[in-house]
Every structure is written in structure tokens, then in C-alpha cells.
Amino acid sequence: MNKKSFLCFCLLFCFTFAWANQDLEKQAAQQYSQQQWSDAIKSYKKVVKNKPENEVAWYRLAQSHLQLQQGKKAMKANKKLNQAQQIPVGLVHYQKAQALALMGKTKAMWQALEQAVEAGFSNINDLRANSIWQPYRSADKFKAVLTRGDQTVRPCMYDEVYQAFDFWLGEWEVYSNVDKTGPMSGRNSITKTEQGCLIMEQWQGASGSTGTSMNYYDGLQQKWVQRWVSGGVSIDYAGGLIDNKSGQEVMRMEGEIYYASKQQQPQIRDFRGTWTPLDDGVVQQFFEESVDGGKTWYSWFNGFYFPAKEEAKSDK
């Protein structure tokens, strides 16, 4: 065989080998997705033999062994992921913890579980549903792992910085006087969503006006942000908790208001809002506007929020 023929043979062999390995990986993936665990194990063993650097294959091989309650074999495959680059570290530790649980190595299992949540593992559903954890669910350590995992999934439910505006949450009747005299200005519904990270406002004015705002703590600015839209008016401002002149902690945001109507001149003005918790669960919302760059301010809206009556809530 001459040099040219040998080169062609090598290329053909490499192409055929690569093609066959692709088919094998495809077959293994199909068996894995169809939960044919024994067949998947056989196929993934061949895959890693041909491509020992294939991290996904090692991970799925270990998972298949776990499904068959084969702790030692799962651990053997999992060890190949000690320096994994493609599989998240949290998943590697969690897989290891399951293998250790099946092997009865409880002390090492707890350590691996703690390492998993420390590395960002957040599949709370699997922690709650996986039969491997049935003997440990009542343990304080397991409850702590669940909490840590939940903190990863829902950080806004635990970090105080995301709860600074919670005093505004509720169903409210809004009046222009603190003694609740005069007609009601409107009703406002302030609720939390997006796993505690977003506060939504739905305003219904007594005159028929409506308005909606999104409020959230922006980690990029490290400020609270509100974006309000009501008809042709939009407000965009940011801020946070400050102490007022009386030393009371209030929420203050500053920014700009925009009027879509050209009859309003200037259309863009400086704007600020202050929310103050008062006695008996009442909250004051005070808005100010400036047309001279903040040199002087005048009142734009002053409302006192009273918890809505039960019959008012049911009417809505």
C-alpha cells in the first residue's frame, strides 16, 4: 500500500469510527430519555470507552445506575466528574450524595448534600420527591438542605433588601386626608409576584382612572426602582430607604415623569415619591414634581392608604 492509499484508508477509518460513535451516542441518549436504564448503561459504557472525556456520558451513566439502585457503580462513574467543566458542580455533588445514600455512607452523604447546595444546586422538587431521601426527610439536616436550596431558587424571599417595601403590600382604600375625611380617592392593590422579587401595583381611581407600576430591587443599581404607567403618563425613578426629618425610615425614589400630551410643557419633569408608614397600618404616599430642575417642588399627589374593608375586597 503506497503512502496515498494509506492516507485515504486512515481518513476513511476515522470517518467511519466517528460516524459509528455518533450513532452510539444517539442510541444511548434515546434509551436514557425512554428510561431504559439497563440498555442505557450498556450503551454509555461503550461511549465512554471510546470517548473518556465525554462528561455528559459519564453523568448519564451514573444516573442510570442510580435509577437501578446501584450505588457503588454510580459512584464509580461519578468520580470521573471530579474535574468536570460541562456538568455544574452542584449536580455532581448531588449525584454523589445519592450514590453515597444507596451505599449507606450517611456521614459522607450529608457532606455531599451540603456541598451540592453550597455550589448552587436548586432542584427542590427532586429533593422532595426522590425516594432515596425518604429515610432522611424528617432530619433537621435535610430540612436545612431544603431551606438552603430554596434560598438559591427564591433569594428574594430570604434577603431583607428585597423586603424593604413590604410595608406597602396590601389591599387599600386611599384618601387625601389622614383623618379619612372627604371622598375616597381610589383603591390600590399592591401584591408580590415572581417569587418575591417583584411588587405589582394596580390602581383604580374613584374618577375612573387606572394605573400600573412595577417595583423591584435592582441589583445592578443597588436601588429600588418603580416604573409607573397611567394613560399618557409614565414615571421612572429609583431610590431606597432613608431617614426623614423625624428620623423615621421611609421609602424615597427620585427620577422623572413624562407626559405624552404635548399640552404639558415641559413634557419631562423631575419627580420624586415618598412612602411613609404611619400608625395603625396606614401608609402615606406623597408625590412631588419640579419644572425648574429641582429648585422648587410642588405637591403632585398626597394619599393616605387605609387597609381596605372586607366587603370592599369581596366587591373587587
- For the chain, the domain total comes to 2
Summarize pLDDT for 45-74 with one digit per residue, the tens. 999 999 999 999 999 999 999 999 999 999
What CATH number has the domain bearing residue 137? Answer: 1.25.40.10
Which of these three, 136, 157, 178, is where a domain ends? 157
Give the C-alpha separation, 311 to 315, whole Å.
6
Give the C-alpha separation, 249 to 274, whole Å.
10
Summarize pLDDT for 161-209 with one digit per residue, the tens. 999 999 999 999 999 999 998 899 999 999 999 999 999 999 999 999 9
pLDDT interval class at 10 (50, 70, 90): very low
Bridge partners (DSSP) listed for residue 160 = none
Mark whether 166 and 310 lie in a shared domain: yes
Give the C-alpha separation, 66 to 40, whole Å.
12
Domain range spanning residue 223? 162-315
Sign of CA dihedral 249, 255, 260, 266: positive
Which of these three, 135, 157, 179, is where a domain ends? 157
Report yes or no on 38 lying in a domain.
Answer: yes
Summarize pLDDT for 145-158 with one digit per residue, the tens. 999 999 988 999 99
Q: What is the full DSSP assignment across 11-41?
A: HHHHHHHHHHHHHHHHHHHHHHHTT-HHHHH
Report yes or no on 10 lying in a domain.
Answer: no
- pTM of the prediction? 0.75
Mark whether 34 and 109 lie in a shared domain: yes
Mark whether 214 and 200 lie in a shared domain: yes
Residue 14 has pLDDT above 80, yes or no: no
Summarize pLDDT for 256-289 with one digit per residue, the tens. 999 999 999 999 999 999 999 999 999 999 999 9
Summarize pLDDT for 95-106 with one digit per residue, the tens. 999 999 999 999
Which of these three, 157, 192, 207, is where a domain ends? 157
Mark whether 169 and 287 lie in a shared domain: yes
> What rounded mean pLDDT belongs to the chain?
91
What CATH number has the domain bearing residue 236? Answer: 2.40.128.20
Quote the pLDDT of residue 182. 85
* Percentage of the chain lying above the pLDDT 70 cut: 91
Mark whether 172 and 151 lie in a shared domain: no
Mark whether 148 and 182 lie in a shared domain: no
